[in-house]
A and B are shown apart, each in its own frame.
Chain A
Amino acid sequence: METIIENELVRELANKHGRTRDSLLPILQDLVVRNRYLSRQDMVDVARELDISAADVFGTATFYSFLDTEVRGKYVIRICKTISCAMKGKNDVLTTIEETLKIRVGETSSDRKFSLLETNCIGWCHKAPAMLINDTPYTELTPEKVTEILREYIKK
């Protein structure tokens, strides 16, 4: 018989959010908070915990752009690429981030500290360009300002 290794975190989150289908997103969201991404194994374990198919969990997770199914860094940077931000110098800010962190869009730094992604409108168009680092918004970015912000995160 296959031995099932307990996934303590998944169990804990299922205890917290419940085991019905509508608990799935809150569980996956919390897993991303803890691990920065959803591993295959975690998704299989969530499926077992909720007694639904792993394909359902995988299908749901991959629908949502914030439920990453690839390894991400401790700090996930999502820079807005929608028109208002694009008009207000988002590309210069993006280039500065790429040069500072030595990663390109879609990549994660080798120490797994940073991931850099583009995202659609995050609702700060009047203070463009804007980005999120994990849940925290940063607005009215300039190459100088973003360098300062990243310096703080690099120190962390």
Chain B
Amino acid sequence: MKEKFIRRVDLIFEKVECRDIIEKIMQMDPDAICQEVLDSDLKGRGGAGFPTGMKWRFASLEKDPVKYIVCNADEGEPGTFKDRQILDEVPGKVFCGMAIAARAVGSKSGYVYLRGEYKFLIPKLNKALDEFHRLADEFNLNFRIQIRLGSGAYICGEESALFESIEGKRGEPRNKPPYPTKSGLFNKPTAVNNVETLVHTVMIMKYGAERFKELGTKDSRGSKVFSISGDTPRAGIYELELGMSVHEFVEEFGDGDTKAVQVGGAAGFCVPRKKFEETIIGFEGVPTGGSMKLFNSTRSMYNVLHNYLDFFTEESCGQCTPCRVGCQQLLKGVEAVKRGEKNSRYLDELVKLAKTMKRASKCGLGQSVGNAFGSIVENFKEEIIY
């Protein structure tokens, strides 16, 4: 077998002179900024993976004089904590990324929606924001950023729920279309990007799209910041080149006894040992917003699944029936199977229910419950039943 190793990267946390970037983008044509990001093939780092340049291009083509840039810092996916570190270490780069988006799209106003759990970061962010605004003034960049706090609702990481929350309402996702680039925050064209995505655009402006594309694979360009936790001797935050297999990942981060890796958090997929080799971490395989949880053979996958279902049952916004009732029924269902009140065939019924939720739920929350559910039940059926 070919010897491979995972390439460590240091772009996101690299110290950058934001002044140089702002100076550069002020001289660039907005369309050229969009094009550079498009050329890089950068895909959103929050998990969904929508091409960032395309998002900006769509928003830039809208005629409305009022447009918004929103930084989604509502990092709530279980097992994800990289955005906290980025905001803590390089907040100026996040604001700089928003400025690039603002230039590309033609926006004068931006919001950072920070989860309430990270409120302790506010003093540091405010300081960096003051510096950013001074810099913007110096270069006549007419763009102001406000920071808004969440209040402990996972669903507000869903972009349209996030808009509702900034607008002062319950964080209930909207129907799509219209998409945010057409009608987002305050029903205005909005480009909403993840914290890490914005910082990548800073590096693309600094080094160019070609350099960005040197890393990763055809479908997953560049590097990604991973949040690694669970049964690993090396829990923490690592920026790695995209395109590695789960096997390579486990070789580097496992404890020698890894039986499963949950890629992408509670909304992601569980990869069992027998599929480590064939599974690529990236958009061509299992996508992730960065959450990587390792489980060794001492762990009960029933407990893992139960924990996730408990999480979704609490965090479902409750507005659409498939998700609200589905989450509750999946949770009750696996408990009933575990107690022996239902036989193992009942699990097949539950998998069907999870598939119905995927088709019928209004937003990504209800649509992704089946990812973890299906992959854990399929690969660890015995552990669920006995």
> Taking beta carbons and an 8 Å cutoff, which residues of A are in contact with B?
20-26, 28-29, 59-60, 63-67, 81-84, 86-87, 119-128, 132, 135-137
How far apart are B269's CB and chain A's nearest CB, in angstroms?
15
Is the C-beta of B120 less than 8 angstroms from some C-beta in chain A? yes
Closest A residue, CB atoms, query B312: A120
- Using Cβ atoms and an 8 Å threshold, which residues of chain B touch A136? 120
How far apart are A86's CB and chain B's nearest CB, in angstroms?
6
Is the C-beta of B214 less than 8 angstroms from some C-beta in chain A? no
CB–CB A26/B119 < 8 A: no
CB–CB A23/B118 < 8 A: no
Given contacts A83-B307, A126-B229, contact A25 B81 (CB under 8 A): no
CB–CB A125/B78 < 8 A: yes
Is the C-beta of B79 less than 8 angstroms from some C-beta in chain A? yes
- Using Cβ atoms and an 8 Å threshold, which residues of chain B touch A66? 116, 150-152
Mark out the residues of chain B between 69 and 87 whose CB falls within 8 Å of any chain A CB in the assembled complex.
75-81, 84
CB–CB B169/A127 < 8 A: no
- Using Cβ atoms and an 8 Å threshold, which residues of chain A touch B81? 123-126
Is the C-beta of B255 less than 8 angstroms from some C-beta in chain A? no
Is the C-beta of B125 less than 8 angstroms from some C-beta in chain A? no
CB–CB B117/A123 < 8 A: yes
How far apart are A129's CB and chain B's nearest CB, in angstroms?
11
What 3 pairs across the A-B complex have the smallest Cβ distances?
Answer: A66-B152, A125-B229, A24-B168
How far apart are A57's CB and chain B's nearest CB, in angstroms?
10
CB–CB A60/B230 < 8 A: no
CB–CB A25/B153 < 8 A: no
Mark out the residues of chain B between 266 and 316 whose CB falls within 8 Å of any chain A CB in the assembled complex.
266, 293, 299, 303-304, 307-308, 311, 314-315
CB–CB A135/B78 < 8 A: no
Closest B residue, CB atoms, query A125: B229
Pick 27 A–B contacts, CB within 8 A, sort by A.
A21-B168, A25-B168, A29-B116, A29-B151, A59-B170, A64-B150, A64-B151, A64-B171, A83-B307, A84-B79, A84-B293, A87-B230, A120-B76, A120-B78, A120-B154, A120-B311, A121-B80, A123-B76, A123-B81, A124-B81, A125-B227, A125-B235, A125-B293, A126-B81, A126-B227, A127-B235, A135-B119
Is the C-beta of B133 less than 8 angstroms from some C-beta in chain A? no
Binary interface encoding of chain B residues 196-231 relative to chain A, with 1 for a CB under 8 A from any of its CBs, else 0: 000000000000000000000000000000011111
CB–CB B120/A120 < 8 A: no
- Using Cβ atoms and an 8 Å threshold, which residues of chain A touch B303? 83, 86
CB–CB B165/A25 < 8 A: yes
- Using Cβ atoms and an 8 Å threshold, which residues of chain A touch B78? 82-84, 120-121, 125
- Please, how many angstroms separate the alpha-carbon atoms of A10 and B75 in the complex? 30
Mostly helix, strand, loop or mixed at chain B's interface? Answer: mixed
- Using Cβ atoms and an 8 Å threshold, which residues of chain A touch B317? 63
- Using Cβ atoms and an 8 Å threshold, which residues of chain A touch B90? none
CB–CB A65/B153 < 8 A: yes
- Using Cβ atoms and an 8 Å threshold, which residues of chain B touch A20? 168
Contact of A123 among B118, B166, B168 (CB under 8 A): B118
- Please, how many angstroms separate the alpha-carbon atoms of A30 and B292 in the complex? 35
- Please, how many angstroms separate the alpha-carbon atoms of A13 and B2 in the complex? 63
Interface residues on B, range: 35 or more
Is the C-beta of B237 less than 8 angstroms from some C-beta in chain A? yes
- Using Cβ atoms and an 8 Å threshold, which residues of chain A touch B115? 123
- Using Cβ atoms and an 8 Å threshold, which residues of chain B touch A63? 153, 170-172, 317
Given contacts A125-B227, A126-B229, contact A29 B153 (CB under 8 A): no
Contact of A22 among B77, B166, B229, B230 (CB under 8 A): B166
CB–CB B167/A22 < 8 A: yes
Is the C-beta of B188 less than 8 angstroms from some C-beta in chain A? no
Mark out the residues of chain B between 140 and 172 whose CB falls within 8 Å of any chain A CB in the assembled complex.
148-154, 165-172
Closest A residue, CB atoms, query B305: A83
CB–CB B230/A84 < 8 A: yes
- Please, how many angstroms separate the alpha-carbon atoms of A14 and B76 in the complex? 29
CB–CB A122/B120 < 8 A: no
- Using Cβ atoms and an 8 Å threshold, which residues of chain B touch A25? 148-149, 151, 165-166, 168
Contact of A83 among B150, B228, B308 (CB under 8 A): B308
- Please, how many angstroms separate the alpha-carbon atoms of A73 and B246 in the complex? 45
- Please, how many angstroms separate the alpha-carbon atoms of A137 and B229 in the complex? 17
- Please, how many angstroms separate the alpha-carbon atoms of A60 and B170 in the complex? 5
Contact of A137 among B77, B120, B227 (CB under 8 A): B120
Mark out the residues of chain B between 46 and 91 whose CB falls within 8 Å of any chain A CB in the assembled complex.
75-81, 84
Contact of B151 among A65, A83, A86, A125 (CB under 8 A): A65
- Please, how many angstroms separate the alpha-carbon atoms of A29 and B169 in the complex? 13
- Please, how many angstroms separate the alpha-carbon atoms of A86 and B152 in the complex? 19
How far apart are A38's CB and chain B's nearest CB, in angstroms?
11
Is the C-beta of B236 less than 8 angstroms from some C-beta in chain A? yes
CB–CB B236/A126 < 8 A: yes
How far apart are A28's CB and chain B's nearest CB, in angstroms?
8
Closest A residue, CB atoms, query B119: A135
